[in-house]
Every structure is written in C-alpha cells, then in structure tokens.
Chains A and B, each alone.
Chain A
C-alpha cells in the first residue's frame, strides 16, 4: 500500500515537474518556431503559423542586414573578459573574507550584496557621463569594466561560500610547508575550490552574456554585443517577429549549448557545500 502511494505521488510529481519545465522552456521554443517562418506567417494565430511552410528566410535576412560575427565576438570578449577579471579580483578577496575575517566582514558582504538590489537605472546618468568623459562609450574595455563591476558581488559571494567549505588546516599545512600567500592560493586553494570556481565562472559568463541594460545604454556599434543585435531587429512599425526571433535564437544558441554541456558542473557547483 505504502509503496503504491509512493509510486503514485512520484508519477504526479514527475508530471508536474515536466509541466513546469515545459512552461519555462515554452518562450524559447516559440521563438525558435517563429524564426523558421515568414514575417506574415509569424503573426498568424499559433495553429495557423505551425501549419504554414517552414523557411530560413528570416535567418538570411538577419545575416544580410547585420553581421552576426561581430556581435558574437563582442559578446564573447565582454562576458568572458568581465568574468575572468572578476575572478582575478574575487579569489583573493574571498580568500581574505573566508580565512582571515575581520569584525566587519559580514557587513561588507551584505553591503556588496545590497548593491545588487539597487536598480541599475538609478546610476545610469553618472555612469554614462563617466564613460563619456573617459572615452569608454561603445568600447569593449568599457563594457568589460562594467561587467566586472556587476559580476564582482556575486563572484565574491559564491567563492566565499565555496572557500568556507575548505578546511583551514590544509591552508595552515601549506603555510607550514613553506608556501607564500600566492603559492597557497595558486597551488592549494584554487585547485581545491576548482568545482566552485568553475561554476562561478559559468554562471557569470551566462549572466554577462544575457546582460542587456548596460550594453544597450553604453554601446551603439563598435562594442555592441548580441543583446544589441537582437534589439536592432525590433522596430516601431512593420513586421519584425520572425527576424527578431531568428536573431534571438542565434544569440541564445551559444550559451544554451554551453549550458547544456556544462550542466553537470553547474549543478555540482551550485550545490557545492549543500551536500557533503
């Protein structure tokens, strides 16, 4: 009796989970479907659209109108660059907070997290003017810099949690073995925290890749990443659903593929510490 109840509830939970999963995935699926139809068909009712013939017309139009390669490279440089830079700053910062905490460490961590709660638009004007004065508007350097700043609180928080899991005695052993602070971080801490560092890297690359607010405000053409590429197909008049969908599909495909292959690492990193 108990067994059949368990099996029944398992079936219900599984169906529920698939339903939720499908709901979350549905917009992506719909974008994908729309991108393979003509502009005319894309605005038809869902069933009518699915019944109409498939075409790669929208992809061809997108390619001729704008060069995907340039936007793609900008996205790669900005997301990887800002994440790596944030890690270089974040690893020593998280080390000091995890292993030599001061009285204000917790407050400092909370303060860093609180900056994530502030609406970005609140600092748009000063940031824009700052970028203008320093000549960073529409440059990859500028976007890498702002991406680093956006990522830093999350990077430090994640690394801090992972580092807290590493027994202090091992670092003390390294110190006794003659390791300098740099050697301790490079040879002992980093390899031990590698699953955590990897998932921090992956998550932040994804967040940076998807970041739209600043990249739309601070770039126009030279440093514009894929978020600009998508936005450039949205128009106040005329038909643009299919082209917009094609651009979106092309923009999210790389990160989706990367996420698919690294999902094991991502999940392991995100649950690191929760399960010993």
Chain B
C-alpha cells in the first residue's frame, strides 16, 4: 500500500514561503511526476514527503496514518537521489544490503534479497565493486536496488537521471517505467524535464513558485492545459502563445497553438512570416518563423519539407486546436 495525502502542506524558510499551501492525493500504485522549472518547490515537496524537511504546517498522511512528525526511516519510503548518494566505502552488495542491515535482518536473508534485486537490475557481476568503479548508469541502478530491497510503500525519485548522458537517460527512463509495471508500487518522481514527465507519468503535477498549477494525466495536460503556464511548459517544442488583436478576435487575452497544430503553406495562410532557422531532425523539421507583429513562432513540419532560412511562408492554426486563455491566464472552456 502506498497512498499519500497532503493536506494544506506549507513550508517556509524564514520569510521565504517555498510552498504556500499544497493539497494533493497520490493513489496507491500511481506513478506521479512533479514537474516545473528550477526553484518551483518540487524537490522541497518531495523532501517534505520523505521527512528530510519538516513541514511548517499541514499534514502528510501515508496509508491513512499521519506521518507528518515521523522521522524519514519510519515512513516506509525509499528515495533515489540525483547524486545517487551511494556509500563510497561499501561494495555494491553492502550498499544494497545497508537498509536491510539497519532493519535488523539477518545476513543470510539480506544477502538473498540483495542478490535478487541485483538480478533484476543486471548488477550481479558488479556486486563486489565499489561505487567509484561503476559508470553513472550502474551507480543509478545500485541506488534503485538499495531502494527496492526495502519494499517501501512508495519510491521517491529526485531528478535521478539528470546526471546521465542523453542516451543512457532514455534507457533508464524505460527501465524505471518497466520497474513500475513490475512492482506496481507508488512512485513519486521529480524532474524539470517535461519529456520525462510526459513519457513516464500516470499523473503529472505541474508546479510553479510552490503552487500546483494543474494535476492530470499527461494527455490531459497536453490537450487541456488549465492555464498559460501549463500550456507553455508541457509540450516540446513549446506552444506558440499570441496576444493582441488576433487573440481578442477569438474572445481571449492569449491564444495558444502547438507547433504540431500549425499548417504551413508557401502561398496563403493566416500569418505571414520568414523562416529564420530550420532544424532538420530527419523525422520532423522544426521551423522557427519570424511573424510580423508576433515575433518568433515554431512549426513542426514533416521531415521532407523543403523550406530553409529566408523562405517566406504562411501559417494557419488547425481547426479546433486553438487554446484560449482569459486575462487571468486561465483557460476559457
């Protein structure tokens, strides 16, 4: 079991209110991703759940029990850190066995469990090595192994992939998602990378300045962003946001069109512009177009589109794909 409920959780450091007030329910077995720009309070929120920081007020319930005042060890959670936080003086086996040793498990049973975890994570041949002799990806797997053996109520991940190179990051992303399918344990994952959020989460929590901007499934957030911030943050390349007469004509203060929902033509369209940069990805081409009165807009076109720097193009939003936002930044239904 691993249901986590936050009720009016606040955190202040002196006069700085990092988390003004958060209410959130994380269901048992869910993969929840906290996402937001640097300094939005997502890591602080995770550390509050872990018990590594004390809440200024509010309650944190884990499996129906008030855990607000419990020390980290008593919350039944396991955490994987950005820096892996392995014990450098212990071998991989001892690292993985450490939580079991702390729980007072006898060595034989602990060794068995550590070996089983190592098998799942392909670490069997590295058990006698020290963390310093492992690659980044292997270290991360050891950190995950150390978390698995505890059989926690929930796993907490604090930007675990940000120290890895792009290719390894993709692999580990997949491995963690598969692990979630196998273990079916609640996972809370903090990242600033919205691609990680979109691809891994059952539920995404978008945070800004310590406030929850929106909670929902990845496609929910993509198709129905609650406000301008979420619209701009979720989706890559980011949504084109326009203000002024064009927005007013549609009864909004701001309108948004995703790059993939923009039609491009060389003869006619709603907005005329000049291609400044064409990024060729093979499968897609991202065109950055300077549009008069609106600045730079991004369009996602097919990989075979033959447009280059300096070409004049016309852009039009696809029907029904324009997001409208009011003066308060909130979406207009």
Other-chain residue from B73, B81, B88, B103 in contact with A192 (beta carbon distance below 8 A): B88
Interface of chain B: mostly helix, strand, loop or mixed? loop
Rounded to whole angstroms, the CA-CA distance of A170 and B81 in the bound complex is 9
Q: Can you report 13 residue pairs joining A to B where beta carbons are below 8 Å apart? A: A172-B52, A172-B85, A173-B81, A173-B87, A174-B87, A174-B98, A177-B78, A177-B102, A177-B150, A179-B73, A183-B102, A191-B87, A192-B87
Taking a contact as CB atoms under 8 Å apart, the answer to whether A177 and B71 are in contact is: no
Chain A neighbourhood of B72, CB < 8 A: 172, 175-176
Given known pairs A170-B87, A172-B52, the reply for A180 and B81 (CB within 8 Å) is: no
Nearest A residue to B71 by beta-carbon distance?
A: A175
Contact B73 A176 (CB under 8 A): yes
CB < 8 Å: which of B73, B85, B87, B89 contacts A178? B73
A180-217, CB < 8 A from B: 180, 183, 187-188, 191-192, 194
Residues on A with C-beta less than 8 A from B71 are 175
Min Cβ gap A200→B in Å is 18
Binding site for A on B (CB under 8 A): 50, 52, 71-73, 77-79, 81-83, 85-89, 98-99, 102-103, 146, 150
User: Which residues on A sit within 8 Å (CB–CB) of B85?
Assistant: 167, 169-170, 172-173
**Option from A172, A175, A188, A194 in Cβ contact (under 8 Å) with B87:** A188
Known A172-B52, A192-B88; contact A178-B99, beta-carbon cutoff 8 A: yes
Number of A-B contacts (CB under 8 A): 60
CB distance from B115 to the nearest CB of A (A): 18
Docked Cα-Cα span, A167 to B88, in Å, equals: 11
Contact residues in A for B102 (Cβ distance below 8 Å): 177-180, 183
For A172, A179, A180, A194, which residue has the most chain B Cβ atoms within 10 angstroms? Answer: A172
Closest to B158 in A: A169
Query: Are A191 and B50 in contact, CB atoms less than 8 angstroms apart?
Result: no
Q: Smallest distance from the beta carbon of A173 to chain B beta carbons, Å?
A: 4
- Across the two chains, which residue of chain A brings its CB closest to B104? A178
Give the shortest distance, in Å, between A241 (CB) and chain B (any CB): 51
Chain A residue nearest to B143 in the complex (CB)? A173
Q: Decide yes or no: A176 and B83 within 8 Å by CB, A183-B102, A192-B88, A192-B89 being known contacts.
A: no
Whether B98 and A175, one on each chain, are in contact in the complex, defined by CB atoms closer than 8 angstroms, is: no
The 8 A-B residue pairs with the shortest CB-CB distance in the complex, in nearest-first order? A173-B85, A178-B102, A177-B99, A178-B73, A169-B85, A191-B89, A176-B79, A175-B72
